Amino acid sequence: MTVISLKSAQLRDGLTLPYAEAGYPGGTPVVFVHGLADSWWSFEPLLRRLPASLYGYAPTQRGHGDADRPATGYAPEDYAADLVAFLDAADIPSAVLVGADGGGVPARIVAGSHPDRISGLVLLGVPATLADKPAVDAMRESVRGLSDPVPRDVVEAFMAAAVGDRPVARGLVETMVEENLKVPAHVWKETLEGLLQADLRATLAGILVPTLVIWGEQDGILPREDQQTILDAIHGSRLLAYEGTGHAVHWEQPERVVADIAAFVAAIEHPGTSATP
């Protein structure tokens, strides 16, 4: 298992984000971007399993976990700007971005707008669109009614919806519940509304970097057709569908996700090699 170091980065606007760092010197930089209400802990199972070829960074986004909590600035574009600023603060000239769930939206914004900084993009259970999803409608109603402190039973219900039939480490689920509970109600509301109000299809335009889409066939939030929209929009993108796996593919199958990311990165750096292990 790879050792994880906890650090903090001060962005150019003064915002401080904690982040986890793991891997081996000389490994390709991979920056992991979490979704709504999560933190760097969402990627702990992946960071622990990184091979020698990869070096991982997992920042906690503004308003989440132990990061600074500005009063405003929770639209996808704000998170994307933070992501670029994080690359600068951590002195990462170029990286592969791995976005999970809603974190894939700012990741793909950056991939499309800063191709000089991004060598590849991996999307883990990331929506093409959100406003047309019945499961998201129900979530929106729940989130609209939130006030501080955010109720534990609401968070636990969201956690349950994220996984399929495969077992997830009990300690991870408990940790993620606690991390979700750190997020103020207004951040839940503004982040979700930002995703729902944004033209998410437009954020798929202009992405020219190699892109890998990983999706669980038991995802109760995102149907296969949604993922096809991503494939149709990003030229040359590939889909890996995990049988018997739910929305949080990186929680249910961390070994497989790490192996697929490593193979994807190897294929980028050494064209002509296989992109699957």
Amino acid identity of 190? E
Taking Cα atoms as reference points, which of 210, 201, 200 lies closest to residue 118?
210
What pLDDT, on the 0 to 100 scale, is given for residue 264?
A: 98
CATH topology of domain 4-269: Rossmann fold (3.40.50)
| pTM assigned to the model | 0.96
| pLDDT (tens digit per residue) in 41-57 | 999 999 999 999 999 99
Q: What's the pLDDT at 164?
A: 82
> Which pLDDT score, from 0 to 100, does residue 102 have?
97
Q: Are 115 and 92 in contact (CB under 8 A)?
A: no
Task: Name the average pLDDT for the chain.
Answer: 95
* pLDDT given for residue 276 in this prediction: 52
- pLDDT computed for residue 163 by the predictor: 86
pLDDT at position 100: 99
Of 131, 107, 124, residue with least CA distance to 247: 124
For residue 31, what pLDDT is reported? 99
- Cα 121 from Cα 213, distance rounded (Å): 8
**What is the rounded (10 degree) CA torsion for 252, 50, 37, 248?**
-20
Write down the pLDDT at residue 167.
86
Q: Return the half-sphere exposure (C-beta side, CA atoms, 13 A cut-off) of residue 170.
A: 0
Per the CB < 8 A criterion, the answer to whether 54 and 23 are in contact is yes
Q: Is 186 exposed, middle or buried (0-12, 13-18, 19+ CB in 10 A)?
A: middle
CA 49, distance to chain mean position in Å, is 17
Q: How far apart are CA 33 and CA 39, in angstroms?
A: 9
Residues of the chain with pLDDT under 70: 273-277
For the stretch 222-250, pLDDT in tens is 999 999 999 999 999 999 999 999 999 99
Q: Which of 68, 79, 75 is nearest to 190 (CA)?
A: 75
Q: Number of helices and strands (H, E) in the chain?
A: 10, 8
